[in-house]
Structure formats: C-alpha cells, structure tokens
Amino acid sequence: MLAGFSVITDNLDYLLWGRISAGQPGGVLLTLLMAFGAAALALPAGIALAGLAWRYPGVIRQTLFAWAELIRGIPLIFVIFWMWYLLPLMTGGDLPGALTVTLALAWFTAAAVMHSVLAGLRALPVGQYEAAQSQGFGTLQTLWHLLLPQVLRNTLPSLSGIFISLLKDTSLAFIVNVPELTTVAGQVNNRVQIYPAAIFIFTGLVYYLLCCTVEQLAKRITRPAL
C-alpha cells in the first residue's frame, strides 16, 4: 500500500501546480484559480440580480426567475459545452479553456446566489425598508447600507454551501481537457497505469480538505463575538 503512494510523491509537483514553471498552471492551483475567479464573478452578479428582482417584482422578477430556473435545470456539463463552443463564435477567437470553464461556472452559480440573496431580502421585516425611506434614504442606499449587510450575514451558510459546490464542480473541466486537479490526476494515472486507487484517494482527499476549509472559514465568520 505504501508503495502505491509513491506515485503521489513522484508526481506531487504536477498534481499541485501543473506546469507552472512553463507558465501553465494546473492541478490544485488551477482548481483554486477557477473557483475563486468564478466566485468573484458570481457573487456580485447574483447580488445585483437579487436586488433587481427584489426592487421590481413584476415582469423583471419573473424574467429573472425564468432565467435562473432554466440555468439551474440544465446540467452544468451542458453549460460548459455551450460556453466552449459558443464563446468562440461570439468573440471571433478561441478563449483559454480555463477562462471558458470559469465563465460557465460563474454563470451557473450566479443563479443560485440570486435565489439565496433574494430569499434573504424577502425574509427581512418590511418595516426596515419603510423606516429607511422615511429617513430620506434612497432605494439603493437602503439596499446597500442597511439590508444587504444583514442578508449576506444571514445567508452566509447557504452561500458557503453554494461555493463548496462550485469548488467541486471545477472537476467537470476535465471534459474539455483543462488541466485542473481531476484532469492531471487522470493524466498521471494514464501515464503510470498502476496504483489508480492511490491517485484518486489523494485527489478526493484534496477536494475534501479544500471544502472543509471553506466550511470552517464560513463558521468562523458567522460565529458570534463573545
């Protein structure tokens, strides 16, 4: 069994960083870059969409709901495929695979963020908005300074769950051969053709540790001060 894990130590740099020395990040590093990049796009986009749906409850909210349900009802793997083939047609040139997958993950995740934040906004007492309006605050000021700080704190457990799923979903980049952790683990396995259990146990353990880290950070942030 210990001999099986020698394949991990022999390929550890490649599994962690890819070919970073050649300017081609991969492995765990690329997984984190895609996850953080998608989260940085999805969080503000989802918050902005939730704000629109909360402020305009008519046609705009229904349209946003229809868009979100369409995105959430489609397997993410199809969203990645659509982005992979459609973005070059729309931009007139090829985009890096990691960027394409990051955009697909952000688009998919923004719909979940929108639903979570909107639920948080609708759960707040209506009197808070009315009191702010009576004090001369505009709608955007009320949303930004009064409501969103409460909503983001209240929905942090839900948002952390969304971003844990996002982190795991980066593994789907293997279908377009982006060299994130799952892809490079498969490459190592195909090259050595021995000890696949050790390779994929290591891969699963890395994902588990990354997800636990996100969960613990969320708990630390939401822990009440003593």
Contact 96, 176 (CB under 8 A): no
How far, CA to CA in Å, does 165 sit from each of 7, 47, 88, 120? 28, 18, 27, 20
Q: What is the DSSP string of 27-53?
A: HHHHHHHHHHHHHHHHHHHHHHHHHHH
Calculate mean pLDDT across residues 191-211: 90
With 60 as the cut, is the pLDDT of residue 225 above it? no
Residue 25, strand partner residues: 18
| First-to-final CA distance of the chain | 47
pLDDT tens by residue, 78-116: 999 988 888 888 887 788 899 999 999 999 999 999 999
pLDDT tens by residue, 119-168: 999 998 888 888 888 888 888 888 888 899 999 999 999 999 999 999 99
**Which residue shows structure tokens 């409501």?**
147
What does DSSP assign to residue 71? H
- The candidate with the shortest Cα–Cα distance to 143, out of 58, 223, 56, is 56
Q: What is the DSSP string of 81-117?
A: HHHHHHHHHHHSSPPPHHHHHHHHHHHHHHHHHHHHH
- The candidate with the shortest Cα–Cα distance to 170, out of 121, 210, 138, is 210
**Which residue shows structure tokens 């946003």?**
64
With 60 as the cut, is the pLDDT of residue 3 above it? no
Give me the amino acid identity at 102: T
158 vs 222: CA distance, rounded Å: 12
pLDDT tens by residue, 39-78: 999 999 999 999 999 989 889 999 999 999 998 889 999 9
Which distant-in-sequence residues (6+ apart) come within 8 Å of 151 by Cβ?
117, 120, 121, 124
Half-sphere exposure of 163 (CA within 13 A, CB side): 26
At 221, list the tokens. Answer: 């942030």
The number of angstroms, rounded, from the C-alpha of 1 to the middle of its chain's C-alpha atoms is 35
**Which residue shows structure tokens 């984190």?**
32
141 vs 128: CA distance, rounded Å: 13
pLDDT level of residue 1 (50, 70, 90 thresholds): low
The reported pTM is 0.90
**Which residue shows structure tokens 């870059």?**
33
